[in-house]
Structure 1
Amino acid sequence: MWHGVIPAVTTKFTQDDGLDFKEMERCFRYLMDAGCDGLIACGSLGEGPLLSHAERIEVLKLTKSVTGNKPAILTVAEAATRDACALAEKGARAGADGLMVVPSTIYHSNHKETVATLRAIAAAADLPVMIYSNRLAYRVDVTTDMLEELADDIRFVAVKESSDDIRRTTEIINRLGSRYDLFTGVDNLAFEALTAGAVGWVAGLVVAFPHETVAIYRLIKAGRYAEALDIYRWFRPLLDLDVSTYLVQNIKLVEALVIDSNDRVRAPRMSLEGDLRQRVEHVVKTALQNRPALPSFA
Structure 2
Amino acid sequence: MSSAIDLSGVFPAMCTPFDEDRRIDFETLRTDAQRLEAAGVDGLVPVGSTGESATLTHDDHVRVVAAVIEAVDDVPVIAGTGSNNTREALELSERAVDAGADALVIISPYYNKPEQRGLVEHFRTIADAVDLPQIVYNVPSRTGRNIEPDTAVELASHENVAGYKAASGDLGQIGEIAERTTDEDFAVLSGDDALTVPVISVGGTGTISVAANIEPERTCAMVGAALDGDYVRARNIHHELGALFRGLFVETNPIPVKEAMQIRGYGPARLRSPLSRLADEYREDLETLLADLEREPTEVADAAEGDR
Give the CA deviation at 1:229: 1.4
* CA distances 1:214-256 after superposition (whole Å, capped 9, x unpaired): 1111122223221221111010110123445422110011111
Tell me how far apart the structure 1 counterparts of residues 169 and 189 of structure 2 sit (CA, whole Å): 13
2:46 counterpart of 1:41: yes
Q: Partner of 1:247: helix, strand, or coil?
A: coil
Q: What residue is the counterpart of 1:59 in the other structure? A: 64
Q: What residue is the counterpart of 1:264 in the other structure? A: 270
Partner residue of 1:254 out of 234, 254, 260 = 260
2:283 counterpart of 1:277: yes
Q: What residue is the counterpart of 1:184 in the other structure? A: 190
Cα pair 2:14 2:44 within 8 Å, conserved: yes
2:25 counterpart of 1:20: yes
Change in 2 beyond 3 A, CA 1:219/1:120: same
Change in 2 beyond 3 A, CA 1:293/1:147: closer
Q: Partner of 2:12: helix, strand, or coil?
A: coil
Give the CA deviation at 1:140: 2.0
Tell me how far apart the structure 2 counterparts of residues 229 and 77 of structure 1 sit (CA, whole Å): 33
Q: What residue is the counterpart of 2:239 in the other structure? A: 233
Tell me how far apart the structure 1 counterparts of residues 72 and 8 of structure 2 sit (CA, whole Å): 14
2:235 counterpart of 1:210: no
* CA distances 1:28-56 after superposition (whole Å, capped 9, x unpaired): 11111111011011011000111001011
Give the CA deviation at 1:260: 4.3
Tell me how far apart the structure 2 counterparts of residues 145 and 239 of structure 1 sit (CA, whole Å): 30
Tell me how far apart the structure 2 counterparts of residues 287 and 110 of structure 1 sit (CA, whole Å): 44
Cα-Cα RMSD: 1.8
Change in 2 beyond 3 A, CA 1:244/1:106: farther
**Counterpart residue identity of residue 144, structure 2:** R
Cα pair 1:37 1:70 within 8 Å, conserved: yes
Q: Partner of 1:39: helix, strand, or coil?
A: coil
Cα pair 1:39 1:67 within 8 Å, conserved: no
Tell me how far apart the structure 2 counterparts of residues 99 and 234 of structure 1 sit (CA, whole Å): 31
Q: What residue is the counterpart of 1:167 in the other structure? A: 172
Tell me how far apart the structure 2 counterparts of residues 283 and 247 of structure 1 sit (CA, whole Å): 18
2:117 counterpart of 1:99: no
Q: Partner of 1:40: helix, strand, or coil?
A: coil
Cα pair 1:208 1:259 within 8 Å, conserved: no
Greater mean deviation of Cα atoms: 259-268 or 25-34? 259-268
Give the CA deviation at 1:153: 1.4
Q: Partner of 2:209: helix, strand, or coil?
A: coil
2:96 counterpart of 1:114: no
Cα pair 2:196 2:206 within 8 Å, conserved: no
**Counterpart residue identity of residue 10, structure 1:** C
What 5-or-longer segments of structure 1 have no aligned partner?
none
Greater mean deviation of Cα atoms: 107-116 or 288-297? 288-297
Cα pair 1:77 1:105 within 8 Å, conserved: no
* CA distances 1:34-84 after superposition (whole Å, capped 9, x unpaired): 110110110110001110010110110111123434321111221221111
Greater mean deviation of Cα atoms: 253-262 or 23-32? 253-262
Tell me how far apart the structure 2 counterparts of residues 245 and 124 of structure 1 sit (CA, whole Å): 37
**Identity, % of aligned positions:** 24
Cα pair 2:31 2:71 within 8 Å, conserved: no
Q: Partner of 1:5: helix, strand, or coil?
A: strand
What 5-or-longer segments of structure 2 have no aligned partner?
1-5
Tell me how far apart the structure 1 counterparts of residues 138 and 247 of structure 2 sit (CA, whole Å): 20
Give the CA deviation at 1:126: 2.1
Change in 2 beyond 3 A, CA 1:253/1:210: same
Q: What residue is the counterpart of 1:72 in the other structure? A: 77
Normalising by structure 2, we get a TM-score of 0.91
Partner residue of 1:6 out of 11, 27, 37 = 11
Aligned length: 298
Cα pair 1:264 1:271 within 8 Å, conserved: yes
Give the CA deviation at 1:108: 0.8
Tell me how far apart the structure 2 counterparts of residues 199 and 257 of structure 1 sit (CA, whole Å): 31
Q: What residue is the counterpart of 1:292 in the other structure? A: 298
Tell me how far apart the structure 2 counterparts of residues 24 and 178 of structure 1 sit (CA, whole Å): 38
Tell me how far apart the structure 2 counterparts of residues 152 and 217 of structure 1 sit (CA, whole Å): 27
Give the CA deviation at 1:178: 4.7
Cα pair 2:37 2:75 within 8 Å, conserved: no
Give the CA deviation at 1:103: 1.8
Tell me how far apart the structure 2 counterparts of residues 2 and 39 of structure 1 sit (CA, whole Å): 11
